[in-house]
A and B are shown apart, each in its own frame.
Chain A
Amino acid sequence: MKKVTTLALGAALAAGPAFADLVFPDLSYRTGPYAAGGIPFSDGYQDYFSLVNARDGGIGGVMARVIECETAYNTEKGVECYEATKGEGALVYQPLSTGITYQLIPKVQADGIPLHTMGYGRTSAANGAVFSNVFNYPANYWDAASVAISYLSDENGGDLTGKKITLLYHNSAYGKEPIRTLEELAAKHGYELTTIAVDHPGQEQGSQWLRIRRERPDYVIMWGWGVMNQVAIQEAANIRFPMENFIGNWWAGAEHDVTPAGDAANGYKSLNMNKVVDYPVFAEIRSLVADAGNAAGDGSNIGSVLYTRGMYAAMLAVEAAKTAQEIHGVADIDASMMRDGMEALEMTAAKMEALGVPGIGPEFSVSCENHGGSGLGLVQQWDATAKVWNPLTDFIEPDNEIIDPLIKADSEAFAAENGITPSCDG
């Protein structure tokens, strides 16, 4: 047995890569029922690395290389992509899928590669003492649920007592994540919560909206993704549900979600973790990447909600890589150094200004105790005539009093199940 292990280890070492560039795998999905969201995100993610290569000559002088791998939002293909790319010296994985994230969490812990799930994935990964290699800054699902409730509470003068709120969710790990937080918040704020599930992929929602029509909730909060969002907004319009009382989370608030419903979608609100305005960096991407013919897509997505988020994800990865280079004093960082960089990442207003994206996200700093960032989110509203998302509020603080104990409980359960001793010393 020992011999076999040694042999296997030898083979793994022999196959190890020579660090010539910094590798950022992009597990994208440009096919399948979730492609509408996957394409702009992936375009933004890749274009930012192309921009950094073209403008700055790489990160700290080392070129960034993106390996794209198509997952179609499918967990089996996600595993295949992970195994196919990890040998290339991958620095960080961002699968943009909660299902794939759950699969990769134990694998990245074993392989020592960081996983960044920005605003999705396993919420309790915010506890870095347990999830040493998983990061979900700047905000997570439970923050989102809490921000949505805080916003509604403010709208009602601080009192939600007796209000009826319905959660319409994608019937998967992704959609189920906020339920517990919303229940805890319901106990605190005194609103009445109903949950309605929509099965994958969500093209058929007649019965769900019939129920909403019958129960007449004051607000509908949606945890949707892919084709489910457009169908829900169309159905809401069909039953004449007031759009301003319909709030999607940050994965249910992009241009392609609202445009199919046309003018009927006017006033629909959604959360966002990054502000979407015309940043100076988009001009740079247009001139240095798109006009040079290096854009990942056809260039039509530049500046859209999910493109901006994909670019923001790449930007945080680049900043973490720079931090890692500073900490370790080498330009050719590996995955474990990248992890250190992510854990020491600090995003300040000045830094964002310098990057050409003033105020794109909240200021936050990552530490071992907190891999989840500040958790701030804002509310934006769709203007169907101008076809733009307008930020309605500034960044709203989540209710950490509710969320922190939940994160602690869930991460400790994971630690106990997997025999991990929570520690921030190592």
Chain B
Amino acid sequence: MFYREAGDFKSSYRSDSQTFPIAFDRYRYYALLVFAIGVVPFIVDDYWANAVLLPFLIWSIAAIGLNILTGYCGQVSLGTGGFMAVGAFACYKLMTAFPGLNIVFVVLLSGGVTAGVGVLFGLPSLRIKGFYLAVATLAAQFFLVWLFNRVPWFYNYSASGQISAPERTVFGAAVTGANAQAWASYLFCLTFLIAVAWLARNLTRGAVGRSWMAIRDMDIAAEIIGVNPLRAKLTAFAASSFLVGIAGALFFSVYLGAVEVGEAFGINKSFLVLFMVIIGGLGSIFGSLAGAAFMVLLPVFLKNVLVGGLGWDTALAAHFELVLVGGLIIFFLIVEPHGLARLWELTKEKLRLWPFPH
């Protein structure tokens, strides 16, 4: 009944290869965008923005970033937390060094700095592959966190090593700092997510994306048909780190406002993003969003149900939450090893025939 393409004729290549070829899907997508931009900002409160929506949007950007590297180019990375830290510290240094610079450019430049660092740490990927590359990126993770802890220049010689984001405005509305309105920070991050998703989608279906996927599927074959592995791998590292850097900058400046590198960007953050990508679906933009939603929203949802709804003891609820989230991860991976994105595809197939499957 839903998602039928009967009667939906394409008369140009352009309309045939669009992101949402099925009319129902496309309208649903537009409706979602209108809701997210036109309705949510008017109803969002501090709790929804700071505890639910901002982390979801920011982690989605990070997951899309890692998905480019791991899902599309096949290079496993455990350095995401470290690269987010680069984005955050670049953002802090730029914010404090150039107080007049608009925050939008600060965030983009932070992404640029991270892309540079990412390319540097991507160089070993030309020689080492698979698990060995994962270990090399793990070294990046530990090195970067150590560096930001060790060199006082990065945190402007503050006594505690904490960095905190001063107030910055976009079109007169504060998006960072304590006086930022919930709707303003939400819209700011949402704009970045939409831009990032659009960029990632168009990168991955163009020539660059094809070269990434060729490398992922079989690097020797790709080299034989003329894909330059140096170029493909380093562009993947650059694009991925750019997005992860943007996520790190937003995570620090808009979401938390003050961070401490070891706590905010530790190894568990690298794993968190990797889990998002694996659970959501490797090589899928929708999967990145679904994975981020699963890993970020589920614990908050469970907490509210168990403590707020059922009145459980907070410690018991916190422990049970870990058990439940872990159990659900295993469940989803057994039921559908290709992640939530694949599950969604299957649902769409079924919905197409529903309610008369034969």
Q: List residues of A whose CB falls within 8 A of some B CB.
A: 1, 4-5, 7-8, 11-12, 15, 28, 30-31, 35, 39, 68-70, 72, 74-76, 79-80, 83-84, 86-87, 98-99, 102-103, 105-107, 109-110, 122-123, 171-174, 176-177, 179-180, 197, 199-200, 410, 417-419
Contact = CB atoms under 8 A, between A and B. Distances in A.
Contact of A83 (B47, B160, B178, B259): B47
7 contacts: A8-B45, A11-B45, A70-B314, A76-B55, A80-B50, A173-B161, A419-B167
A30 B318 contact: yes
**Cβ-closest 7 pairs across A and B:** A30-B315, A106-B178, A173-B160, A110-B178, A80-B51, A70-B314, A83-B47
Given A83-B50, A171-B149, A172-B263, A102 B160 contact: yes
B47 A4 contact: no
Contact of B164 (A35, A102, A171): A102
A12 B49 CA distance: 13
Given A31-B318, A173-B160, A1 B171 contact: yes
Nearest to A124: B159
Contact of A98 (B160, B182, B259, B307): B160
A103 B159 contact: no
Contacts of A110: 178-179
Contacts of B55: 76
A79 B263 CA distance: 14
Nearest to B317: A70
Contacts of A176: 159-161
B257 A103 contact: yes
Contacts of A98: 160
Contact of B50 (A79, A179, A417): A79
Nearest to A123: B159
B112 interface: no
A31 to B, nearest CB: 4
A123 to B, nearest CB: 8
A212 B133 CA distance: 36
Contacts, number: 120
B336 to A, nearest CB: 28
Q: Interface of chain A, helix or strand or loop or mixed? A: helix
Contacts of B164: 102, 106, 417
Nearest to A142: B159
Nearest to A200: B262
Contacts of A69: 307, 314
Contacts of A80: 50-51, 300, 303
Interface in B268-320: 300, 303, 307, 314-315, 317-319
Contacts of B264: 75
Interface in B312-346: 314-315, 317-319
Task: Select the residue from B183, B257, B307 with max chain A CB neighbours within 10 A.
Answer: B257
B252 to A, nearest CB: 11
A103 B50 CA distance: 12
B159 A179 contact: yes
Nearest to B145: A199
Interface string B101-118: 000000000000000000
A418 B166 contact: yes
Contacts of B159: 123, 176-177, 179-180, 410
A87 to B, nearest CB: 7
Nearest to A122: B160
B255 to A, nearest CB: 8
A32 to B, nearest CB: 8
Nearest to A69: B314
B178 A172 contact: no
B181 to A, nearest CB: 6
A15 B177 contact: no
Contacts of A87: 46-47
B30 interface: no
Contacts of B167: 418-419
A75 B262 contact: no
Contacts of B319: 31
B149 A11 contact: no
Interface in B33-67: 41-47, 50-51, 55
Contact of B263 (A11, A15, A99): A99
B160 A15 contact: no
B226 interface: no
A358 to B, nearest CB: 33
Nearest to B160: A173
B40 to A, nearest CB: 12
